[in-house]
Amino acid sequence: MGPSQKPNVCRRLSRRALGFFSRDAGVESTKFKNVWTTHSKSPIAYERGRIYFDNYRCCVSSVASEPRKLYEMPKCSKSEKIEDALLWECPVGEMLPNTSDYKSSLIALTAHNWLLRISATTGKVLEKIYLASYCKFRYLSWDTPQEVIAVKSAQNKGSALAQQAGIQQPVLLYLAVFHVLPFSLIGILEINKKIFGSITDATLSHGILIVMYSSGLVRLYSFQAITEQFMQQKLDLGCACRWGGTTGTVGEAPFGIPCNIKITDTPPLLFEVSSLENAFQIGGHPWHYIITPNKKKQKGVFHICALKDNSLAKNGVQEMECCSLESDWIYFHPDTSGRIIHVGPNQVKVLKLSEVENNSAQHQISEDFVILANREKNKNENLPTVTASGRVVKKSFNLLDDDPEQEVLL
pLDDT for position 390: 64
Confidence of residue 16 (pLDDT cuts 50, 70, 90): very low
* 200-217 residues labelled b (16+ CB within 10 A) or e (exposed): ebbbbbeebbbbbbeebb
Distance CA 283, CA 293 (A): 18
Average pLDDT, the chain: 84
Tens of pLDDT, residue by residue over 59-111, are 999 887 788 899 999 999 999 999 999 999 876 667 777 777 778 899 999 99
Tens of pLDDT, residue by residue over 220-238, are 999 999 999 999 999 999 9
pLDDT for position 129: 97
Tens of pLDDT, residue by residue over 164-193, are 777 778 999 999 999 987 889 999 999 999
Distance CA 49, CA 67 (A): 10
* 37 compared with 407, residue with greater pLDDT: 37
Check pLDDT > 60 for residue 251.
yes
Residue boundaries of the structural domains of the chain = 277-372
- Quick one: what percent of the chain has pLDDT higher than 90? 54
Instruction: Give which of 263, 364, 277 is closest to 327, Cα–Cα.
Output: 277
Tens of pLDDT, residue by residue over 69-82, are 999 999 999 999 99
Tens of pLDDT, residue by residue over 275-320, are 999 999 888 888 899 999 999 999 889 999 999 999 999 999 999 8
pLDDT for position 40: 83
* 359 compared with 163, residue with greater pLDDT: 359
pLDDT for position 14: 46
Tell me how far apart the 2 most distant CA atoms of the chain are, in Å. Answer: 95
pLDDT for position 293: 93
Check pLDDT > 90 for residue 362.
no
Check pLDDT > 60 for residue 202.
yes
Question: 282-287 long-range CB contacts below 8 Å, 24 or more apart?
Answer: 282/307, 282/332, 283/331, 283/332, 283/333, 283/336, 283/338, 283/340, 284/332, 284/338, 284/340, 284/353, 285/338, 285/353, 286/363
Q: Is the pTM of this model over 0.85?
A: no
Is the distance from CB of 188 to CB of 257 less than 8 angstroms? Answer: yes
